Structure 1
Amino acid sequence: MVTSGSVLIAAEVMSARISGAITQGDLFGEEDDEHYGEDIEGPLTFLLAGLDTRPSRPEEPPRADSVMLLHVPAEMDRGYLISLPRDALVEIPAFPETGYLGGQDRLNSAMFLGARQQAGEELPNLERGFRLLAQTVGQLTGVERFDAGAVIQFEGFVEVVDALGGITVELDEEIYSRHRHPDGSHRPLNPHGEGYLGEQAYYPAGVNELEGWQALDISRQRYGVDGSDFGRQQLQQMVLKAMLEKAVSRDMLTNPVALDRTVQAAGDALVFDGRGNDPIDFAFALRDLRPGQLTQVTLPAENVGEGSAYQGEALLPEALELFSALRHGQLDQFILENPDFVVD
């Protein structure tokens, strides 16, 4: 009884630490949400955005370098991690908060157009930027309401991976870094043309043990795997899944010091909106979902324009069919019939 009581107290303390550490913001505009604070039941769809913010230029409004949907069917024992091409050409709706009148642009611009400073503001407003991103993705996919949302800033992402003690990924092909030297320092831009200068960090095909800067470096590789943004989406999903696997590993869950260090690092990197529910509420509701039960999905798209005339990517009709299957609770069957969407 004493042991059980101690475990219960420890669990309650850790729950309070998690809820208190992670920054919670108003990413959706809850005052207009009639479902605010409802019980957590499936199916669930989360919107996740990764921001490539620049600490040296905090006044620069960010673009969403990574946009993903996490869809969990009604049983809440499996999930689909769906990457949306950041360069997808979409209709961004009018946004009175910043005076944006609406129009076609790349998906990653929605965050920029919503976050940019207004009169009297010195820094971009990330919560406002996410609201426009959410409206844009909702309009694109037909998903009327996201059950939760999160923003992760990539500089903080490095600290999370390091707090986890690093992560393990398995690469199909070798990667030569576009951005980093082997020691992790940044490669300088070539003043005489495109590209960067100096020796490149190298990641061989097969199993790689990565520390924080290396995980971020791989996530940014535009030319990794298959030489396209499609390849970068695969790498981002792989890194995120590896982080989740490490976070719920036995070594992590039985090490309260490491777990607390990771929670604190995540708190510095994340802004979360559970629409009235805390992160720990979602952790409990999704307790039967393991990283190994996440299916990685990418969407088919084609380039619009080439070279200097490149405008972005147009989603193919099959991508819109996937969105319809998601809305109607038929994603399992759709993926079964369309295995090319799945990242092995």
Structure 2
Amino acid sequence: MLLAGFAVVGVRLLAHRYERTVSKEQLLAPDARQARTELETGLNYLIVGSDRRPDAPGPDQRSDTILIVHVPPGLREAYLISVPRDLLVAIPPDGVGYAGGQDKINAAYEHGGGGEGGTRLLSATLTRLTGIRFDGAALIDFAGFRRVIDLLGGIRMCVDTEVRSIHTGVLFPVGCQQMDGARALDYARQRYDLPNGDYDRQRHQQQMLRAMMDRAGETHLRTDPVQLDRVLRAVGNALTVDTNGVPLDDLLFALRSLPADALHGVQLPSYPQTINGISYVVLDNGGGGLFDAVRTDRLPDWSRANPRWVNRL
């Protein structure tokens, strides 16, 4: 979605430079992959965000952010559906060593070994839960996105509830303010001491992506090839992608008419629940028809009928 925001500087040039820097992996499990992607139809992408690179060693590689991006037919708007990382789900076996079981959905990334394997297991888990097959996936290194935001000159974020970072101790006062990469990412990770906890964190992450697209459209990268190259390399270094066989220039060209103000944030109908002393999030009424609306390209109608679960970005 961020790459689509760069269409204003020349889609074909962007795709050519991006092709040389981005990592490409098989991020989708076979049963989670759309058999064939047709760009003129509705599209569904899985976005997984983590502070660890795919090849980072060590245990506890959990996904900090899970987004389903739905682009309805016509490709003129997009819906960012945040999946709560504490959502209680049935994780299938990975076929390697993990036998499967009930757990929080962000644990699927860890059980799959993180990186490519973790994203595949996470995609299989989501398809089993939602029935949605994906046209592609991206694994985002949010730490790498700090440099992207800094190269863009920072982004403008509007804080609606004062909160102090549990990571750095920085206070985020109420009001719209310019943030550099470190500050923006720190703010988007906060969930404690916010009225709606992790739901507020999800909304802030959606707002950060919208702000990055806004800023990308405002900059004059077309007239500054050196800066353009730096931004494209930073974007490429922060992403691992699976486009389901679609050439990058075809995908970006198809999304060229998608403006930042056409992004809509959606929360998964759900509620927190403590089970055996552990905090989870559970689906409200099986997702309240959201998954069916995505599968049948009726998400705009669903959003109008369910404003409670729609975020203003």
CA contact (8 A) 1:19 1:278 kept: no
Match of 1:238 among 193, 196, 207: 207
Paired residue type of 1:159: R
Deviation at 1:32, TM superposition (A): 10
Q: Which residue of 1 aligns with 2:297?
A: 329
Aligned match of 1:99: 97
Please tell me whether the aligned partners of residues 224 and 231 of structure 1 are also in contact (alpha carbons under 8 angstroms). Answer: no
Matches within 5 A, 1:151-166: 151-166=139-154
- Give the counterpart of 1:134 among 123, 144, 156: 123
| 1:9-158 equivalences in 2 (<5 Å) | 13-28=13-28, 35=35, 38-53=37-52, 58-96=57-95, 98-115=96-113, 126-143=115-132, 145-158=133-146
Equivalent of 1:298, from 225, 248, 267? 267
2: distance between equivalents of 1:340 and 1:128?
35
Q: CA deviation at 1:240?
A: 1.3
Letter in 2 for 1:219: A
Partner of 2:4: none
Normalising by the residue count of structure 1, what TM-score does the alignment of the two structures yield? 0.81
Distance 1:134 1:33, change over 3 A: closer
For 1:57-113, what per-residue CA distance to the aligned partner results, in whole angstroms no more than 9, with x for missing partners? 7323511111001101011101111100000000111211x2212111000001000
* CA-to-aligned-CA distance 1:135-160 (integer Å, 9 cap, x gap): 011111110x2011000112212112
1:226-260 Cα deviation digits (max 9, x unpaired): 25111111111111111122223353444332222
Structure 1 stretches of 4+ moved >6 Å:
30-34
Matched position secondary structure for 1:76: coil
> Matched residue of 1:207: which SS?
strand
Out of 212-221 and 257-266, give the one that drifted further: 257-266
TM superposition shift of 1:331 = 1.0
Query: Structure 1 regions of 5+ residues with no counterpart?
Result: 1-9, 116-124, 181-199
**Alignment RMSD:** 2.4
CA drift of 1:318 comes to 6.1
Q: What number of residue pairs does the alignment pair up?
A: 302
Answer whether contact 2:157 2:177 (CA < 8 A) is retained.
yes
Alpha-carbon deviation of 1:297?
0.8
| Contact 1:225 1:231 (C-alpha < 8 Å) held by counterparts | yes
Find the aligned partners of 2:146 and 2:83 in 1 and give their Cα distance: 22
Distance 2:269 2:278 in 1: 17
CA contact (8 A) 1:89 1:314 kept: yes
User: How many Å separate the matches in 2 of 1:247 and 1:224?
Assistant: 31
Distance 1:70 1:33 in 2: 14
Paired with 2:91 and 2:35, the residues of 1 have a C-alpha distance of: 25
Q: Which moved more, 1:281-290 or 1:103-112?
A: 281-290
Q: Which runs of 5+ in 2 are unaligned?
A: 1-9
AA matched with 1:107: I
Rate the CA distance shift 1:224–1:158 in 2: closer, same or farther, 3 A.
farther
Contact 2:15-2:248 within 8 A present in 1 as well: no
- Larger relative contact order (CA 8 Å, sep ≥ 6): 2
Whichever residue aligns with residue 175 of structure 1, its letter is V
SS at match of 1:82: strand
1:14 Cα deviation after fit? 4.2
**Percent of aligned pairs with the same residue?**
37
Q: How far did 1:273 drift?
A: 0.7
Structure 1 position 47, deviation (Å): 0.4
Q: Aligned equivalents of 2:33 and 2:158: distance in 1?
A: 42
Cα separation, 2, equivalents of 1:49 and 1:94: 20
SS in 2 for 1:305: strand
Q: Return the offset for 1:279.
A: 3.1
SS, match of residue 112 in structure 2:
helix
Alignment of 1:265-276 (within 5 A): 265-276=234-245
Question: What residue in structure 1 maps to residue 5 of structure 2?
Answer: none
Structure 2 Cα separation of the partners of residues 41 and 54 of structure 1: 33
Hey, what's the Cα distance between the residues in 2 that align with 1:138 and 1:339? Answer: 25
Aligned counterparts, 1:145-224, within 5 A: 145-180=133-168, 200-223=169-192
1:277-316 matched pairs, under 5 angstroms: 277-305=246-274, 309-316=277-284
